[in-house]
Structure formats: C-alpha cells, structure tokens
A and B are shown apart, each in its own frame.
Chain A
Amino acid sequence: MAIPILDVQRLTVDFTTRKGIVRAIDAVSLHVTKGETLGIVGESGSGKSVTSYAVMKILDRAGKITNGKITYSGMSLHKIAESDMRDIRGREISMIFQNPRAALNPIRKIGKQVADVLIQHNQATKADAREKAIEMLKAVKIADAEQRFHAYPFELSGGMCQRIVIAIALACRPQLLIADEPTTGLDVTTQKAVMDLIVELTARFNMSTILITHDLGLAAAYCDRLMVMEKGRVVEQNASTVLFQSPQKDYTKQLLRATPRRDSNVRDLLPEAMHGKADPLPQSIPPGPPVLTVSHLKMGFGKPGSENYHLAVRDLSFTIRQGESLGLVGESGCGKSTTSAMVMRLLDVTDGHIEFLGQDIASIPASQFASHPLRGKLQMVFQDPTDSLNPRWSAERSIEDPLKNLSKGLGKTERKARVVELAGLVGLPTHLLDRFPHQLSGGQKARVGIARAVALDPQLLILDEPTAALDVSVQAIVLNLLEDLKHRLGMSYLFISHDLNVVRLLCDRIIVMQQGKIVEEGDARTIMDHPETDYTRSLLAAIPHPPARETHTDSGALA
C-alpha cells in the first residue's frame, strides 16, 4: 500500500459541555493516499465533521483531542504548535464548508480574500497578488475575472460563492482538500458543476480529497474509498464499489437500503427488519374525479411595469385527481414554493383560477381563508419539522390547534381522544405528546407535523420537501408513513421537491417547472426513463446515483 499522506490513528475527541464531558468521536482511524478521494458518510451526529475539524485543528474551544495520532506527510499534527499548524492550513491542507455565501467576508472584495491567502503563504507579493488571484478566479471558471475581483459576496450567486471558496482553498496548491458537505443547499445542477470543478482541479494539481457527505449518491459518484460513521465511531470502510456491492455491517446495509435508487420502491427503503413486517404496498387504484384544478395561474411581485417586477409564476395549469400523487419538481427560483403558497391560499394570486372540490377558492382572499369550511380539507406538511412547530407548545397542543379552531363541535375530551388517535395513525408514541419540540427527535417532529396536517381529514395534502431536512434513514420511514396514510385516508398529494429520486417513489405523475412555467409533464416512470426536454434531461443527469443494486438478498444471489 502506498504511504498515506494523512494517517489518523484511533482519534478521540471530547467536548466539555454544561452537562459534562461528551465524547464526539471515539477511536476513529483513517488514511488517505496521494491522489485518492476518501468519502466519509454518515447521518447527523455521526461525528464526520468533528473528525475533519480535529485534523485541521480548528475545533471549538470546548473540544479537545484526548487520544490518538494524526500524521500528515510524516509530521505529527495532534500536538503541533499553533503557529506551525497555521503554516500547514491553506498551504498543505485546505478545507471548504457548507453554505458558501456565509463563508466569505461580506464586506471584503472577493478578489482580496483570495489574495490574502496567497500573500500569507508567500505565494505572491503585494505587487503581484492581484494578478495571481485573478488567475485563480479564472481557474475556478469565474467569468469576467478581472471585473469580479472587485465584487462583494452579496452580488454573487451561491454557486459562484462556492467557486470562490474553492479558489481560496486551492490557491496555494495544497496536497489535501477536505470538503465538508460542499454542495448541500445548492441546486442539483449547480451541485454537479461544483463537484466536477473540484474533481478537475484536484486532478490537475494531483491532490487528495476527503469528501464529507450524508448523500450516498454523491459519495458513490465521486469517491474511491468510503468510510461509514455512526455516533462517533467508524462502522465500516472499504473501496467504494465493494462497499456498495457487499456491505458488511447492519448499519451500512440500513443506510444503503434507505438511499432511493432508480429502481427501488418505497418499501425497499426500509431496513431489513421492518421490511418483512410492513404490509405490502396497496394496489394502485385508478384516480377518481378531479380534486384540484389550477388554470392559468400567475403571480407577480412588485409593481407591474417597474424594473423590479418579478413574474414568479406564469400561466400555470394542472389537475390533481382523487387518490393521485402529483410531483412538482424544479430548482430554486422556478416558482414551486410560490405555487404551493397560492394553492394553500397563504398568498393571493395575481391572476388565474384555483378550483378545489368544486369551489373557486382563488377569489377568497388569503386573510379570510382561515375560517373557510374548506380550510381543513386543504393542508400542508412543511419542510423543516423544527421550524414548523411552535417552540412553546407541546406536541399535543400543536396537533390539537386545528381541531380547536375548525371543529367547533368537539369538546375537550373528544379533542384529546382525537389527538391520541392521530398520534397512533402517524406512529407517534403517546407518552411523547406532552413533550416540547426541542425534546423530540427530527423524525418525531415530522410525525407531529403530519398528525396536525391530517387532523381534519384533508382531501389534498401539499408536501413541501417534507423529508429534505431529515436523515436518510428517517426519511425512509417518513416516506413509507406518507404512502400508507394516503391510502388509508383517501388523500391526494401534491409533492414538491427538487429531488427527482424521492419524487418518483411516491408520485404517479410529475410536472417539471422552470422559471415559472411547466416545461414537461407526464407519467412518473416515463419522465424518469424517457425525458423529452433538455432541461429535464440535465436535471436527471445531474443527480448522483449510487450504483444500481444487483442483489435483493443477503446471500448475494442476483434477483
């Protein structure tokens, strides 16, 4: 085996908190050889970021390396002096983070920020720093690099900001790049562009990379070797292809199963144990009469005619039938959130009709819809389970709220009984009902949000990226829950997402939006396998996939 440039042995990090000492990572060992890309995958709390922070010695004040060794190119890093470590950062080992816009100094020109690093590590003098910075900006494919040198981060898009962050990290040609969730929060096409850029530059400069991510598809597409972490420990590490084909540990298997692939259905996402016990997927019944008809919907912001007038949605029409799941897919800025806000009657339309259960609801102003009899029939599950629950209210109170306001006939005991019934329906243990949101896990919070949404037996449920903020194994369970509820309660779904893989699992039909208009619509299967427009094709191509499974059973026999 080639001598690793980074060798971590049994690394242990402890954090001192108000509640005592918390072990963030325990006996983590890894190595990276020259030119290779190592992926560290795990869900939240796995310790993958803490590991990289420890290697870079940028742990929070409360964190300490209590055991283990870190060796970089023969140098011991775990006990190195801070001034020596500063020379290594940026020059030998660089790191890039999530949320690129926040990672740049908002009141300093971006070109100067690149130049600062060059000057610090003596790669340029004050005289030629500007030139060299512009060269670097060109290398990360920033157009008009000379002009952009003087730009501020707020003037640039998220994708461009990430390129600048990469420029800063690679300016001094380090040997090792650590990328901590570099594409989270970016559009899927921007994501691909950024990852391809990283691959190109690291290859050009003959660098090694550590890619930290929760997205197995991304890891599969870009990493040579993978290391799976859970709760601060390494579960398994192996070459990428080997890991996907024959995972050894249960957790790895669970994680792989939970990642949606091209050919899986919802039940496949569940861990082995649950898969056996779950009811088979109900037969799909032909859709009934239309539940929601949207015609020529239009939404403009600002004063028409003025220069900051923005048409978020232009001439949108679609129908959802009873029992049907329609997926609405698009990147940020395509108008999908505006559309869902209009359909939900949280926003007044500029023009167009919305017919729901035979009634024209677009003409009812948003401020008055709260007391309309149809309010309970048209509900929504939100993206961020934490944000969508009142921090001061217990789970029970949150679920009870729609019952209190819209089911006037029910008394206190009847409401309580209904809340318990709903909790059972969504799989929320009743003893959790009097907990506050901060005392619940992400999956539990998601269940509370779902219970609240179905409290009044809605006909149409809008799901706005309902699992985007959840870990992939929790996502698997929640998606199954949503599928079951749909059939049990006879609902229709409008499923909004940027993730085509997830949409495909639950939806019968899909519409693709771009810049406020529908560019393609049709049967889910058809769109995924035979997209007609270039845009859909580019969306599909940009999604990184884990390799398609060849086995369904542990024995390794091909299905």
Chain B
Amino acid sequence: MSLGVKSRRVLNRLLQAVPTIFGILVVCFLLTRALPGDPAAYFAGDMADEASIEQVRENLGLNQSMPMQFVGYVSDLAQGDLGVAISTGQTVTQELAKRLPASLELTLAALLLSLVIAIPLGVLAATRPNTWVDHLCRFLVTAGVSLPTFFTGLALLYVFYYLLGWAPPPIGRLDMMFLPPETVTGFYTIDSLIAGDWALFKASLAQMALPVITLALFTLAPIARMTRAAMLQTLASDYVRTARAAGLSGRRVLVTYAFRNALLPVVTTLGMVFSFVLGANVLVEKVFAWPGIGSFAVEALVVSDYAAVQGFVLSMALLFVSLNLLIDLAYTLIDPRVSEEE
C-alpha cells in the first residue's frame, strides 16, 4: 500500500469531518436559541435588570435574523468566546481549559485500564468457551451494562472508603496536604513523576483509584463483549480454517489470522465507547467531586448558567469528533480494503 494512497485516504477522512463539525455547530447554536421565552433573560441571569438584559441582547445580536446570528455565533467561537460563566465570572473558555486536564486524566486512565483487562478477557473467553473465563467475561459484561455508573461509584466508596478505609475521601484530585505539581501535561500523575516527587505521585494515584475503577468497569463491558464476539467470528471463519488445515501453529493462527482481523470491529466499537465514557465522566466527576469539565457542567446546571452548559456541550462534541477521527484514521491504516468503499 503506497504512501500516496494512504495519505490520500487520511486526507479524505479529515475532509469528511468538516460537515460533521458544521452539523455540531448548527445544533449547538440551535440549543442556545431554543430556550422557551427570552434567551437574553436566561443568559443575563436571574438577577439582571431590564438594562442588563437589553445589553446582553445587543451582545448576542438577538435582534438580528437567525442566519446572521449563526454567523455571529461561529465567529465568536473562532475567537474562543463561549461567553461568561455566571457563578465564577471567568469566561467559559478559561474554566473549561483549566478543568480539561483533570477530565482527560481520568478518562484516559480508565480507558487504558479497561482495554488492558477487556481485550485479553474477551480473547480468552472466545478461545475457551464455556469455561470459567467465558462465564466471568459474560458476567462482567452483563453487570457492566446493567449497573448505573453513579451507583457503582457510590457502592465502591462505601466499601473501600467507609468500610475498609483503603481509599481516600472523595474530595478531588489531591488531599489537602499536598500541592499540585508543576504543570507540564496537566496530568498530576505524570507531572509528579516528572518532578520526581514520589509521595505526590502516590497521593494523586490514590485519589484517582476509585473514580478510574468506576469508569473502567463501565467501559470494560462493551469492549469485552465486542472482543469476544469478534474473536468468535474470526475463529469460525473460512480463512482460519485454511490456516489450521495448513498446520500453522496455534499462536500464529490466533494472533496473525484471528486476532488482527477481530481488532477491526473492536476499533469501531471504541467510537461508541468514547461516546459513553464522555457521558459517564459527568456522573463519576459528580460522585467523586473530581474538578473536571463534567462537574463544571453539573454545577452550571444547578445555577441555570446556560452559556456554560452549552459551552460544555460544544467542547465535548468537538473533543469527541477528534477522538473519532483518530479511530477512523487508525482503522483506515489497518484495513487495506477500506479504499474499496470509496
């Protein structure tokens, strides 16, 4: 597969993201204007008087036609202007930027943990049907899909914090005694390692443990399920039969012929998993008082800070689009057949 063909496909996928982003902008715009009653009043807040509301109306350009408003909306976005958060007085953009690393650290750690457990589990369940591994896998999948994330988090807190005392109290990323490390990546765990502060590393890891496990249990289920199903399918395929009939070793058949082919639908599932995890994130952050963008949104909801909520929705959507793009690109590179569809 020549480099030229590959880069052409990559470009194609990037271009396909443009209409998606446009769609997201339209929907977010509509959401900000969908409020029953006077949007200006909502954005100005409960305490505002007539003059402020009028001011807000001017600023938002609500007197103009819809298409013009949309143009205004997009140009504001291009400059990074998402409005002002009522409760803190900071701009929404600033708040989101400040809190994003916390959410990312949580989400990525959870994904990593679940991948490391789910994929081998799914493979083992498929290669040893009807054994304890298979049953364990099916049980975890069913439980993971049935359990509400917020409930799991609270249950884990009860057991490991209240009853056993192993976990620290759910007060955020670090215990009061510690100061956050120098910001390099924004991830406390990595930054503390960079700074060489072992105690800080352990402390931040301890705070992360329960929320990450809660989130990981949730993402474990669809990944393990898809891995098992995809492996079962490839193991029953004609080309694996050919490989076996040719006497290829068990390992070769499993890895090169079955697993690599099974990865394709698993990679596709990751897109759906990302969608779920970005939602579950909000719930977990609330339970554990994790200072990420999810808890920001929840707090904003309580005080009816709509600019903040819609800013949150938009940024989550853009984050999701980028993640999906990465997955698509990975898929395009793995599967040589993709060009056939174009």
Q: Is any CB of A less than 8 Å from a CB of B in the complex?
A: yes
A interface list, Cβ under 8 A from B: 56, 58, 61, 86-91, 94-95, 97, 99, 102-108, 116-117, 120-121, 152, 154, 165, 168-169
B242 on the A face (CB < 8 A):
yes
B79 within 8 A of A: no
Interface residues of B in 302-342 (CB under 8 A from A): 334-337, 340
Known contacts A102-B238, A105-B257, A107-B336: does B244 contact A120 (CB below 8 Å)?
no
| B60 contacts partner chain A, Cβ-Cβ < 8 Å | no
A90 touches B247 (CB 8 A): yes
Interface residues as binary, B234-260 with A (CB distance below 8 Å gives 1, 0 otherwise): 000111011111111110100011001
| CB pair A105 B336 closer than 8 Å | no
Q: Are A154 and B340 in contact (CB under 8 A)?
A: yes
CB of B275 closer than 8 Å to a CB of A: no
Inter-chain CA distance A107–B337, complex, in Å, is 7
Shortest distance from the beta carbon of B245 to any chain A beta carbon, whole Å:
4
User: Does B261 sit at the interface, judged by CB under 8 A?
Assistant: yes
Q: Are A89 and B246 in contact (CB under 8 A)?
A: yes
Known: A86-B247, A107-B335, A152-B336. A116 touches B252 (CB 8 A): yes
B247 touches A91 (CB 8 A): yes
B239 lies within 8 A of A120 (CB): no
The 3 closest A-B pairs by CB, nearest first: A90-B247, A89-B247, A90-B246
> A residues within 8 A CB of B248?
86, 90, 116-117, 120
CA distance A104 to B243 in the complex (A): 9
C-beta contact mask, B263-294 vs A, less than 8 Å → 1, else 0?
01000000000000000000000000000000
Classify the secondary structure of B's interface with A: helix
Q: What are 12 contact pairs spanning A and B, CB under 8 A?
A: A58-B241, A90-B247, A90-B248, A95-B245, A102-B238, A102-B239, A104-B239, A106-B337, A107-B260, A116-B246, A121-B247, A154-B336
Given A90-B247, A152-B337 in contact, is the A103-B252 Cβ separation under 8 Å?
no
From known contacts A91-B247, A94-B246, A117-B246, infer whether A154 and B337 are also in contact, taking CB-CB under 8 Å: yes
Q: Looking across the interface, which residue of chain A has its beta carbon closest to that of B261?
A: A107
Bound Cα distance from A56 to B244, whole angstroms: 10
A94 and B245 contacting across the interface, CB-CB below 8 Å? yes
Partner of B247, one of A87, A102, A107, A154: A87
**B261: chain A residues within 8 A (beta carbon):** 105-107
CA distance A430 to B250 in the complex (A): 53
Q: Is the CB of A120 within 8 A of B337?
A: no
Which of A88, A91, A97, A120 makes the CB contact (< 8 A) with B242? A97
| Chain A CB within 10 Å, residue with most, of B244, B246, B256, B264 | B246
Separation in Å of the B196 CB from the closest CB of chain A?
43
Given contacts A107-B260, A107-B336, A116-B252, contact A102 B244 (CB under 8 A): no
> A105 near B337 (CB under 8 angstroms)?
no
* B242 and A103 within 8 A (CB): yes
Smallest CB separation, A162 vs chain B (Å): 12
The smallest beta-carbon distance between A239 and chain B, in angstroms, is: 29
Known: A108-B256, A116-B256. A103 touches B239 (CB 8 A): yes
B244: chain A residues at CB < 8 Å are 58, 89
Whole-angstrom distance between the Cβ of A200 and the nearest chain B Cβ:
21
B-to-A contact residues, CB < 8 Å: 129, 237-239, 241-250, 252, 256-257, 260-261, 264, 334-337, 340
A86 touches B249 (CB 8 A): yes
Taking CB atoms, residues of chain B closer than 8 Å to A117 are 246-248
- Contacts A105-B257, A107-B336, A116-B256; A168 near B242 (Cβ below 8 A): yes
A120 touches B340 (CB 8 A): no
Closest to A178 in B: B245
Contact call A107/B334, Cβ cutoff below 8 A: yes
Shortest CB–CB separation between residue A264 and chain B, in angstroms?
Answer: 36
In this complex, what residue of B is CB-closest to A154? B337
Residue of B nearest to A150 (CB): B1
Whether B245 pairs with A56 at a CB distance below 8 angstroms is: yes
Interface contact A120-B249, CB-CB below 8 Å: yes
* Residue of B with least CB distance to A92: B247
Tell me which of B129, B239, B261 has the highest count of chain A C-beta atoms within 10 A of its own C-beta: B239
B264 CB → nearest A CB, Å: 8
**Minimal Cβ-Cβ distance residue in B for A120:** B248
Contact residues in A for B129 (Cβ distance below 8 Å):
61
A residues near B237, Cβ cutoff 8 Å = 102
A95 to chain B, nearest CB (A): 4
Of the candidates A58, A61, A107, A154, the one whose C-beta lies within 8 Å of that of B245 is A58
Complex Cα gap A213–B259 (Å): 33
Return chain B residues, CB-CB under 8 Å to A58: 241, 244-245
A76 to B239, CA, bound (A): 27
Nearest-CB residue, chain B, relative to A165: B242
Are A88 and B238 also in contact (CB < 8 A) when A107-B335, A154-B337, A154-B340 are?
no
Q: Which of B237, B238, B244, B245 has the most CB of A within 10 A?
A: B245
- Within 8 Å CB of A154, what residues of B? 336-337, 340
Known: A102-B237, A116-B243. 15 other contacts (CB 8 A): A86-B249, A97-B238, A97-B245, A105-B256, A105-B257, A105-B261, A107-B261, A116-B252, A116-B256, A117-B246, A120-B246, A120-B252, A152-B336, A154-B340, A168-B246
When C-beta atoms are compared, the residue in chain B nearest to A99 turns out to be B238
Return the chain A residue nearest B242 by Cβ.
A103
- Minimal Cβ-Cβ distance residue in A for B335: A107
Closest B residue to A105 by beta carbon equals B239
Q: How far is the CA of A103 from the CA of B252 in the complex (A)?
A: 16
Collect the chain B residues with CB atoms within 8 Å of residue A103's CB. Answer: 238-239, 241-242
- Tell me the nearest residue of chain B to A87, going by C-beta: B247
| Shortest CB distance A315–B (Å) | 31
| C-alpha spacing A61/B128, complex, angstroms | 11
Q: Kindly state the separation between the CA atoms of A105 and B263 in the bound complex, as whole angstroms.
A: 14
B-chain residues with CB within 8 Å of residue A102 when the two chains form the complex: 237-239
Q: In the assembly, what is the distance between CA of A87 and CA of B247, in Å?
A: 6
Max chain A CB contacts within 10 Å: which of B248, B256, B337? B248
Query: Which residues of chain B are near A116, meaning CB under 8 Å?
Result: 243, 246, 248, 252, 256
Residues of chain B lying within 8 A (CB to CB) of residue A61: 129
Chain A residues with CB under 8 A of B264:
107
Q: Report the bound CA distance from A168 to B241 in whole Å.
A: 13
Residue contact A88 to B252, C-beta cutoff 8 Å: no
Given A86-B247, A121-B247, A169-B246, is A97 in contact with B241 using a C-beta cutoff of 8 Å?
yes
Cβ contacts under 8 Å, B242 to chain A? 97, 103-104, 165, 168
B336 CB contacts on chain A under 8 angstroms: 107, 152, 154
The smallest beta-carbon distance between A258 and chain B, in angstroms, is: 30
Q: How far is the CB of A166 from chain B (nearest CB, A)?
A: 11
Report Cα–Cα, A58/B250, bound state, in Å: 13
In the complex, which residue of chain B has the Cβ closest to the Cβ of A89? B247
